Amino acid sequence: MFFISFEGCEGTGKTTQIDFLKEKLEKKSFDVLSIQEPGTTKLGLKIRKLLKGDLEGAEKISEITELFMFSAARSDLISNKLSNFIKSKKIVICDRYVDSTTAYQGYGRQLDLNKIKLINSLATQNIMPDITFLLDFNPKIGIQRLGSYQMEFSLNDSSNQRETEGVRFETESNEFLNRVRNGYLELAKNEPDRWKIIDANLDKTEISKIIWETVETKLKNIH
Ligand code: TYD
């Protein structure tokens, strides 16, 4: 398995780039699996729905519970899907992975980073991406790009809102998103061999070119 993950704040164009990359790899006859976190497995999809606010009258989701929910979805993904592909030649492209938990729950929500590290290692069974692309820009731009479109599934800082709406992020919560962004940059700085930071303000064709060149080089080195 060759494992690629995409990270970044909302509105950075991850999905477009994942689609481009998948198409390009398939044209070159690679066996590609594109997945999303949380989601992908049946349990993961159920957790996604719950996080989106489909709580059926349950009490509010605390920050720690939220951490466990994202981690439970990930653990299910690893146990029921990814662990089966380790020895295969599949290329797995993941829209968000464990770094999202460190960035959002760790840096964003300011939960203890050491504890998050431990939970992440349990949930992933230490299966980590070969490359992680960080599509980076000022989160304010992402919010503007998304415009008035109500992000269905986004985090915020205000816990009173979460009581009625599940884990819903308030798009204007700039401070929160700035912490997330800086968290990502910190993670990338600490592990430069795995991360490739890309300026998400660049033209999308330019971005896809950088992504392709990086993937091609890494693939050449392992084959
Ligand atoms: P999603 O609808 O997948 O949107 P996006 O296109 O931004 O990826 O939303 C997932 C949201 O959940 C996103 O705001 C980031 C957040 N998230 C976490 O807080 N922790 C996590 O571990 C993951 C995977 C996502």
- Model pLDDT, residue 153: 52
Q: Indicate the number of domains in the chain.
A: 1
- Model pLDDT, residue 146: 66
Which two three-digit tokens encode residue 91?
């290329």
Closest C-alpha to ligand 1, atom 25: 100
* Cα–Cα distance for residue pair 76/205, rounded to 1 Å: 34
- Model pLDDT, residue 57: 77
101 CA distance to ligand 1 centroid (A)?
A: 9
Q: Which domain holds residue 156?
A: 2-222
Q: With a threshold of 0.95, does the pTM exceed it?
A: no
100 CA distance to ligand 1 centroid (A)?
A: 7
Q: How far is CA 151 from CA 46, 55, 146, 186, in A?
A: 19, 18, 8, 26
Strand order in the sheet with 195-199: 32-36, 91-95, 2-7, 131-136, 195-199
- Model pLDDT, residue 150: 42
Lookup result for tokens 């729905």: 49
In 3D space, the residue among 113, 103, 120, 124 whose CA is nearest the CA of residue 10 turns out to be 103
- Model pLDDT, residue 80: 96
Q: Which atom of ligand 1 is nearest to the CA of 70?
A: 22
- Model pLDDT, residue 107: 97
Q: Which atom of ligand 1 is nearest to the CA of 152?
A: 2
Answer yes or no: is the C-beta of 155 below 6 A from any ligand 1 atom.
Answer: yes
- Model pLDDT, residue 223: 61
Q: How far is CA 146 from CA 45, 47, 64, 171, in A?
A: 24, 24, 28, 9
Q: Which atom of ligand 1 is nearest to the CA of 104?
A: 19
222 CA distance to ligand 1 centroid (A)?
A: 30
Q: What is the residue-level pLDDT of the chain in tens, covering all 223 positions?
A: 999 999 999 889 999 999 999 999 999 999 999 999 998 899 999 999 888 877 777 788 899 999 999 999 999 999 999 999 999 999 999 999 999 999 999 999 999 999 999 999 999 999 999 999 999 998 877 667 765 444 445 554 444 444 434 444 444 478 899 999 999 999 999 999 999 999 999 999 999 999 999 999 999 987 6
Q: Which amino acid is at 126?
A: N
- Model pLDDT, residue 184: 98
Q: What is the CATH number of the domain that holds 181?
A: 3.40.50.300
- What's the alpha-carbon Rg for the chain, to the nearest Å? 17
E strand intervals along the chain: 2-7, 32-36, 91-95, 131-136, 195-199
24 CA distance to ligand 1 centroid (A)?
A: 25
Answer yes or no: is the C-beta of 71 below 6 A from any ligand 1 atom.
Answer: no
Angle value at C-alpha 130, between 212 and 117, nearest 5 degrees? 135
In 3D space, the residue among 218, 184, 216, 14 whose CA is nearest the CA of residue 102 turns out to be 184
Answer yes or no: is the C-beta of 12 below 6 A from any ligand 1 atom.
Answer: no
Answer yes or no: is the C-beta of 184 below 6 A from any ligand 1 atom.
Answer: no
